[in-house]
Every structure is written in C-alpha cells, then in structure tokens.
Amino acid sequence: MKVLAINCSPKMDKGITALILNPFLEGMREAGADVELVHAKKLDIGACLGRLECFVQGACIQKDDMQTLLPKLQDADVWVFATPVYWGGVTGGMKNLIDRMTPFGNPVFGIRDGQSYHGLREDVKRGKVVLVSTCGFWELENFDSMIDYMKAFSRQSEREFAGALLRPHSMPFAGMLKMGKPVGDVLEAAKKAGRELVQDGQIAAETLSTIGRAVMPLEAFVAVANQKWQEAIDAGRLPSA
C-alpha cells in the first residue's frame, strides 16, 4: 500500500497537527505501508488560474512543484491530508493544492446517484482519503464544515473517505502532553488508527473517538485558554502549548 501524506500546517513538524499525524503515519509504516510525507509549505504551488486547459491536456500550464506532486498523488492508494482548522475550513495552502489537482479530472460529464459530476481520468488510481485535523476550540462540531468539504472532495475524486482523526482543544492537549498528564492514549490511538487502516482497510469508530476525546471540561478549557492568552498579550508573545 502506497500512502502519500501532505501536512498542510504552516508550522509543519513543529505544529500541533503533526502530534496526531506523525503517530498515525508511524502506525501505517509498522503495518507495512510505504509512506511518504510532504509539507505543503515547502512546495512552490501557484494558485489555480481557472483556464481549464488541464481538462483537455491532462496537465496544467503552470510549471511548479505540482508537476512533481501530481504523479505521487496519482500513484498513491491512500491520500492523507493534515490541516489545522482555519475559520471552519482547511488552510489556504491545502485548498490551493487541491484546486491544482484539476488535471486528474475528466471533462466529460456523467450522472451518478442522480447528480451530474466529472469523473477522473482513467489513468488516475482510485483509493482512500483520510483527514487529520486539529482545532483550538473545545467542541468536535468545529470540524463539521471541513468534513463535509473533504467528503465532497472524496466523491469528486472517486475515492472512499476512510475517516477523520480529529483533535479538538488541541493547545491545552499539547500542554498536558508536555506536563506528562494522562493523555498519551490519544497518541497511541492515532498510531493504532494507522495500523487499522492498513490491516483492516478501515479505522474503528472507538479508535477515532479516543483521538477526539475531551481531555478537560469545557469550563476549565475556557478558563485555562483565556489565562494563557492574557499572559501572552501582557508579555507581547504567543501563548505556549
């Protein structure tokens, strides 16, 4: 199984998103998958120009790092997209990258489940899509619009949406992890999710639930987060996790 993971956090391996992504990929490797990790921030990818020559030619007129990335995406069985939540959605880098995947599309319209759609070109492999995401807010509901978007993206890509590893109130979680608080089961669950996807073809609901479990009550989260931000504002710096 070939896996291409794209970390779309601008903080790359230093971000909280990587705390969930990295053990997930480690679990996939342990189960025998061939995993490659790419950081979107390191790629030179221009914005889609909307000219749609790629629909006819199968290639974009822009010459940038998408020329290297598209063949990797085309050959991968599993696409893993990792991103923090930005205003209820994905990062700009991730959206830009997905927009530039239009060369995979077939310009011919079809009808599927009573709806019009563009399928993929015949030479593009079908497979699975997994989302890994973190959010500063406490509630899991803050991921809802992103999940809807990724499901729509998966349908258009003719791929199975294989699940989402979601970590809410991520900053307090990262802080608790540094202090040795009993939250290590979240990372173990992320690794387990990777093994399950490779070995079973799916991730157990219980495993995903552990990754997204509450690590503190809502009221405590608000109090701690506000204290951290006020201390940071007073000191003229960003709050630490």
What CATH number did the domain enclosing 13 receive?
Answer: 3.40.50.360
Find the domain containing 30 and state its range: 2-215
Does residue 10 sit within a domain?
yes
Q: Counting beta carbons within 10 angstroms of the beta carbon of residue 50, is it exposed (0 to 12), middle (13 to 18) or buried (19 or more)?
A: exposed
Please tell me the predicted confidence (pLDDT) of residue 65: 96
Count of structural domains, the chain: 1
Please tell me the predicted confidence (pLDDT) of residue 89: 96
Does residue 238 sit within a domain?
no
Band the pLDDT of 230: cuts 50, 70, 90.
confident
Mean per-residue pLDDT, 62-75: 95
Please tell me the predicted confidence (pLDDT) of residue 240: 56
H helical segments located in 39-169:
53-57, 66-75, 92-99, 144-156
pTM: 0.94
- Percent of the chain scored above 90 by pLDDT? 78
Q: Average pLDDT of the chain?
A: 93
Mean per-residue pLDDT, 166-192: 94
Q: Cα(23)–Cα(5) distance, rounded to whole angstroms?
A: 12
Mean per-residue pLDDT, 115-134: 91
Does residue 12 sit within a domain?
yes
Mean per-residue pLDDT, 6-15: 95
Task: Report whether pLDDT(241) > 60.
Answer: no
Please tell me which residue, 237 or 218, carries the higher pLDDT value: 218
Q: Are 163 and 198 in contact (CB under 8 A)?
A: no
Does residue 107 sit within a domain?
yes
Please tell me the predicted confidence (pLDDT) of residue 122: 84
